[in-house]
Amino acid sequence: MTVPTVRRIRRVAAAAAVLGGVAACSAPGGGTGDEGAADSVVIGVANEPDTLSPLLGYGKDGNSKIFDGLLARGADEQLTPALATALPEVGDDGRTYTYHLRDGVRFSDGEPLTAEDVVFTYRTALDPKTNNTFRNELDAVEEVRADGDDKVVFTLKYPYAPFAARTTLPIVPEHIVGKQDPNTGSFNTKPVGTGPYVLTGWSKGEKLTFEANPDYWGGAPEVEKVTMAIIEDDDVRATRLRSGDLDGAVLTPALAATFDGDEGKVRYDAKTYDFRAVTLPTGDEVTGDRAIRQALDAAVDREAMVERILDGAGRPAYGPLPSDDAWFAKGIERKRDLAGAEEILDRAGWKADADGVRSRDGRRAAFTLLYPAGDKLRQDHALAYASDAKEAGIEVTVESATWEVIEPRMGDDAVLAGGGSTGDPDFTLYRTLHSSLAGDGFNNMGRYDNPAVDEALDEARRSQDRADRKTAYDTVQRELVKDPGTTYLTHVDHTYVLADRWKGLTTQVEPHEHGFGSGPWWNLEDWQPKK
């Protein structure tokens, strides 16, 4: 798919994240009497951002409507210029990246964008005092400096093949954020950016509202008002979409299927890198046992989950990368093997008790699996996982909770997790598997520690040779089969349903983050009303 104009390039990238997190409203258009108007849209999403500051992680992959990065991603996921006039000039054998800034760009408060804003953004994001969990993604950066008002030069510690894709990080205004604490300042909820939309309101737990930026350097969007309704419960989102309270919503595949054939509604499906998996804390006496983890990996029926839970809208997950990805290690695909799971447990001394649950040295093969309340897709995965595990003699107690409850328990209890990033395997694999990030927020949630995996991840991160990187990532994926710190279940297609009032809608291959960061509204700025 091509991106024919600069205007479209920027709209595409920025549109993804302005929709960041809105909530419940009374009717399309926010109940303001403009129901059905093509210049406004109300979208129901499951999650709300914790912050709107890129320095803390918001829109770091380029999915922000309020902000722009130096680069963005076009419809085909290829990098395109945004605040930069062109792709970077790469020198010194991959150790320097030089960007030239676009003329005439201003923040929404009217102040001009300069190279110093770019330098400030990256230096602050890299500062250990700034509370973000993506600092490791910029590990290669040794220095960033301005060369005049319109040129920025990055110097890297080592050649890092996918570095340009990390410069989608949105740029913040130094004249505002430089006067605040980046962790607690008002900018985190009242942002000012260069993007096509401006935040006009945020009712926590309910909605975020945006209006088109009339002075946007890429041209003002035709969709003038955007509301993102925060509705955690999947069934409630579907009900409100059906009643007309919403113009569109992200739905589970099964719920999206209930709208098939509805006049005035269109379903959109997107292929993804988004996996569902069960993290198995290595510090627990049960889930920390390699035999238990291997048995669970063998006992799970991935194909059945795709068919019954996803209604066919997805693929079995044999690891963190989807099986149709160019970096996927061929040959690690595996069918359910219940007999093999039982044999693994027998050899490891886990013997079945009278109730069918195995035990060893007086400890039952039992653990708790948490999933976020209201997330039907994760609930269904968790219940199916528990059922498959029970057949092997492992007792899994499924428990729903809020993320506020789940987060402090991630190191001790299993979690029905989601993840996956587009762009480069480093973006998914390093932060979820490298031992240096164990317990770092939602990075490496299960505290996985495998020296062979760490070594391969480091080698792939520092190599410029694609063949060498492929070999390293193959090693990572094969090690995960032998020593599975996580049970990967499915890769989930994202499904959306929207009112059929606009043209120009499409989808990208999407990461785990979706709803406000991805969806048919990723190119919202290109939408045209149907006449």
Q: Does a structural domain hold residue 63?
A: yes
Backbone angles phi, psi at 452, to 5 degrees: -65, -35
Same domain assignment for residues 519 and 458: no
Please identify which residue in the block is written with the tokens 């409507």.
65
Same domain assignment for residues 497 and 447: no
Q: How much is the pLDDT for 176? A: 98
Do 205 and 211 contact (CB within 8 A), yes or no? Answer: no
The structure's pTM equals: 0.84
Q: CATH no. for residue 323?
A: 3.10.105.10
Q: How much is the pLDDT for 516? A: 67
In terms of C-beta density within 10 A (0-12 exposed, 13-18 middle, 19 or more buried), how is residue 7 classed?
A: middle
Do 394 and 385 contact (CB within 8 A), yes or no? Answer: no
Q: Does a structural domain hold residue 335?
A: yes
Same domain assignment for residues 177 and 291: no
Same domain assignment for residues 442 and 514: no
What are the tokens at 73?
């991603």
Q: How much is the pLDDT for 75? A: 76
Same domain assignment for residues 471 and 502: no
Give, as one character, the DSSP assignment of residue 71. E
Same domain assignment for residues 146 and 294: no
Same domain assignment for residues 91 and 136: yes
Q: Does a structural domain hold residue 211?
A: no
Domain count, the chain: 2
Rounded to the nearest 5 degrees, what angle is found at the Cα of 327, between the Cα atoms of 140 and 341? 115
Same domain assignment for residues 370 and 518: no
Q: How much is the pLDDT for 454? A: 98
Q: Does a structural domain hold residue 242?
A: no
Helical axes 466-482 vs 425-433, angle rounded to 10° = 40
Question: Taking the CB of residue 118, how many other CB atoms lie within 10 A of it?
Answer: 27
Same domain assignment for residues 161 and 73: yes
Ranges of residues in the chain with a pLDDT under 50 are 1-35
Nearest Cα neighbor of 250 from 513, 523, 526 is: 513
The neighbouring-strand residues paired with 272 are 510
Structural domain harbouring 509: 6-194+493-529
Same domain assignment for residues 190 and 325: no
Per DSSP, helices labelled H in 258-397 are 290-299, 302-308, 338-347, 376-391
Question: Taking the CB of residue 307, how many other CB atoms lie within 10 A of it?
Answer: 13
Per DSSP, helices labelled H in 172-214 are 174-177
Same domain assignment for residues 189 and 316: no
Please identify which residue in the block is written with the tokens 């039907």.
376
Q: CATH no. for residue 525?
A: 3.90.76.10
Secondary element (H or E) of residue 1: none
DSSP-assigned states of every residue in 217-257: TT---S--EEEEEE---HHHHHHHHHHTS-SEEEE-HHHHH
Q: How much is the pLDDT for 1? A: 31
Q: Does a structural domain hold residue 293?
A: yes
In terms of C-beta density within 10 A (0-12 exposed, 13-18 middle, 19 or more buried), how is residue 109 classed?
A: exposed
Q: Does a structural domain hold residue 188?
A: yes
Q: Does a structural domain hold residue 247?
A: no
Q: Does a structural domain hold residue 32?
A: yes
Nearest Cα neighbor of 110 from 16, 7, 217, 239 is: 217
Same domain assignment for residues 406 and 511: no
